Amino acid sequence: MKQEYLKKYFGYDGFREGQETLIDGILSGRDVLGIMPTGAGKSICYQLPALLLEGVTLVVSPLISLMKDQVGALNQAGIHAAFLNSSLSPAQYQKALKLAGQGRYSIIYIAPERLLNEEFLSFACGVKIAMVAVDEAHCVSQWGQDFRPSYLRIPEFIDRLPARPVVSAFTATATAQVRDDIIDLLKLREPLVLSTGFDRKNLYFGVETPRDRYAAVKAYLKNHPGESGIIYCLTRKMVDDVSGRLIRDGFAATRYHAGLMDEERRKNQDDFIYDRAPVMVATNAFGMGIDKSNVRFVLHYGMPKNIESYYQEAGRAGRDGEAAECILYYSGQDVITNRLFIENNRDNQELDEFSRALVQERDRERLKKMTFYCFTNECLRDYILRYFGEYGGNYCGNCSNCLTQFETADVTEIAAKLLGCVKTSRQRYGTTVVIDTVHGASTAKIRQYRMERNPFYGSLSKIPVYRLRQVLQYLQMQEYLTVTADEYAIVKLTPRSEEILEGTRTVKMKWAKEYEYKRNRASAASDGAEPLFDKLRRLRLEIAKEEKVPPYIVFSDKTLTHMCIVKPKTKAEMLTVSGVGEHKFEKYGERFLAEIRRALF
């Protein structure tokens, strides 16, 4: 039955890695915890059992946009689903509850804040709740990147039900500590725990340090016309600036941040989802649960505050499994901005002083690891996977470091002079002053601090500034130097510094050779099938406008690409295409077959 439903409602012939194991666990009555990367198909792990279990499945979800997206996709697939959140008027909420009580919906999405609402509790205690599925389950842990205190009350809701349902939890980003928190805080009973790994092989990862970030982003968009993507910025002001400049430069872009009026946020989000404005410029307030499958790139206009946030945001690219690109444009100012965010964080006010200090210290440590990601010359993918506890080979062939040729250089002399400058200036200055001193610059700060009198002034004048910065960053990564976490980011020596200063340690590091690398985005759609792909994409947009749904809800880019490969001529052949189920074929299949026939025969 599960195989039949998988094809009928979701259009897939087989399960992806881990899906069947988790589904079988749920159907056997076990609690489960699924840790699967974005785009790996977590939602099917609870949506499909919901169709087979007797009773209602409640999906606890943190964001309205996530619920709206998933419920829309389920209804398009022929599955009755609803959501209950603050976007509904009282009349709409009452109607949805009434229909749910009549058995209309097998799946109901609900915000965690509403679980203990007396009206909803009364409903939940009057029907059979077969499963409570907790999406974005990392929100339960204060060590996760999106801690939501309301998630801590989910077990209280479950305890108040007449009979305990199966409890399933799912997340894409969880360290070992967060995973253990999920099990403990949600009171999972001997759960089946399955992690399919964190790797997203279809994503290219890159770090760039352009002098002009806007020019770099503009050049990227010019080279990827018509593609949909997200540009993440650290501040609202930056979002407004970048989106405004892009619009003035003729790009179909829009913006999203918490400072906008609700109506504008909704409109802008819809413009992005419906591809009226395929480029979204946003703060991290945007994106969780946006199941837009045709996002071909995610650009970070600045470094996020931790690896979890970066990987979650980058993971919004390529959810259809097709090739996509994730590029982080780094600047040293990003570290200072994120430190200020950490020091002035007003979240989690309900925590006691000791716990709040622990969380702040954790945030500083995570920022340091995020910063090292921007410095490292090792494989970027491997760096991320190791952070989450996975260990592989240190070469992926699909990141900027793996596609760059490096050479090993002895930098002992440079390192000794940098450390000597820090020591003789009594560890009072930041990285810029240290680098400007050894390079022999004559800036206002150098004169103000009288650093032209430092014995190491001008001692590395022949070494390019960017190389000096690379060595300084490497010394931080290897803990020969540290940088304070306060607003001024002062460079300090460590116990290991003496090894270099005393001449007992040789320092070697890899740095990039001077050459340009090229990367190719492989896709079946570009393999001689581009004209047909474009025709199918135009038809999809036409249908989406008629149905008033996002284009990717009709069919994903991956499904259109598969159509280009299979070139189906009949219903039977069309049903072999990944993502085309019986329900979708009845609605759209003949129109796509006709378009393919016109294009090819």
pLDDT at site 526: 43
Residue 8 in tokens: 């009928």
- Cα 376 off chain centre by: 20
Residues 382 and 283 in one domain: yes
The CATH number given to whatever domain includes residue 583 is 1.10.150.80
Give the closest residue to 167 by CA, choosing from 17, 16, 46.
46
Residues 78 and 219 in one domain: no
Residues 234 and 353 in one domain: yes
Instruction: Tell whether 280 is covered by a domain.
Output: yes
pLDDT at site 460: 96
Instruction: Tell whether 376 is covered by a domain.
Output: yes
C-alpha–C-alpha distance, residues 585 and 160, integer Å: 43
% pLDDT > 90, the chain:
54
Q: What is the pLDDT of residues 357-383, one digit of tens each?
A: 777 888 888 899 999 999 898 899 999
Q: Which long-range contacts (CB under 8 A, 24 or more apart) does 212-216 make?
A: 213/301, 213/302, 213/329, 213/331, 214/242, 214/245, 216/329
Give the closest residue to 208 by CA, choosing from 400, 16, 5.
400
Of the pLDDT bands very low, low, confident and very high (cuts 50, 70, 90), residue 280 is: very high
Residues 436 and 565 in one domain: no
Residue 330 near residue 466 (C-beta atoms within 8 A):
no
pLDDT at site 515: 45
Residue 169 near residue 288 (C-beta atoms within 8 A):
no
Mean pLDDT of 531-556: 87
Integer CA distances (angstroms), 354 to 178, 342, 357, 364, in order? 19, 16, 5, 16
Question: Could you give the residue ranges of the DSSP H alpha helices within 444-568?
Answer: 444-448, 465-477, 497-501, 530-547, 551-554, 557-566
Q: Between 301 and 98, whose confidence is greater?
A: 301
pLDDT at site 451: 95
Residues 234 and 176 in one domain: no
Residue ending a domain, among 484, 512, 540, is 512
Residues 359 and 416 in one domain: no
Mean pLDDT of 85-103: 85
Residue 118 in tokens: 């007396």
Residues 307 and 181 in one domain: no
Residues 232 and 315 in one domain: yes
Residue ending a domain, among 512, 536, 558, is 512
Residues 367 and 288 in one domain: yes
Residue 259 near residue 250 (C-beta atoms within 8 A):
no
Q: What is the pLDDT of residues 494-540, one digit of tens each?
A: 999 999 999 999 999 888 775 444 455 544 444 444 578 888 988 99
Instruction: Tell whether 396 is covered by a domain.
Output: no
Instruction: Tell whether 173 is covered by a domain.
Output: yes
Region for residue 144 given its phi and psi (left: phi exceeds 0; alpha: psi -120 to 50; beta: otherwise):
beta
Mean pLDDT of 93-99: 87
Q: Which residue has the tokens 């410095």?
A: 375
Residue ending a domain, among 468, 486, 512, is 512
Q: What is the pLDDT of residues 192-226, one digit of tens each?
A: 999 988 888 999 999 999 989 999 999 999 999 98
Give the closest residue to 303 by CA, choosing from 332, 343, 346, 341.
332
Residue 598 has pLDDT above 70, yes or no: yes
C-alpha–C-alpha distance, residues 418 and 456, integer Å: 8
C-alpha–C-alpha distance, residues 597 and 522, integer Å: 26
Instruction: Tell whether 427 is covered by a domain.
Output: yes
The CATH number given to whatever domain includes residue 328 is 3.40.50.300
Instruction: Tell whether 397 is covered by a domain.
Output: no
Residue 59 near residue 92 (C-beta atoms within 8 A):
no
- What global pTM score does this model have? 0.74
Instruction: Tell whether 241 is covered by a domain.
Output: yes
Q: Exposed/middle/buried for 599, CB within 10 Å: 0-12, 13-18, 19+?
A: middle
pLDDT at site 499: 93
Residues 492 and 352 in one domain: no
Identify any residues that bridge with 284 across adjacent strands, giving them in sequence order.
Answer: none
Residues 329 and 291 in one domain: yes
The CATH number given to whatever domain includes residue 451 is 1.10.10.10
Sheet holding 32-35, edge to edge: 81-84, 107-110, 56-60, 129-134, 166-171, 32-35, 192-195
Integer CA distances (angstroms), 144 to 173, 273, 423, 450, in order? 8, 27, 38, 45
Residue 130 near residue 164 (C-beta atoms within 8 A):
no
pLDDT at site 600: 79
Residues 149 and 59 in one domain: yes
Domain that holds residue 285: 203-387
- For the chain, helix (H) and strand (E) counts, in that order, are 26, 17
Mean pLDDT of 455-474: 93
Residue 290 has pLDDT above 80, yes or no: no
| Three-state DSSP state, 166 | strand
Identify any residues that bridge with 282 across adjacent strands, giving them in sequence order.
Answer: 232, 256
pLDDT at site 516: 44
Side chain identity, residue 43: S
Instruction: Tell whether 507 is covered by a domain.
Output: yes
How many CB atoms sit inside 10 A of residue 249's CB?
A: 12
Q: How many domains does the chain have?
A: 4
Looking at mean pLDDT, say which of 22-31, 67-76, 475-484, 532-541 comes out highest.
22-31
Virtual torsion, Cα 154, 158, 160, 164, nearest 10 deg? -170
Residue 87 has pLDDT above 70, yes or no: yes
Q: What is the pLDDT of residues 379-396, one digit of tens each?
A: 999 999 999 888 777 888
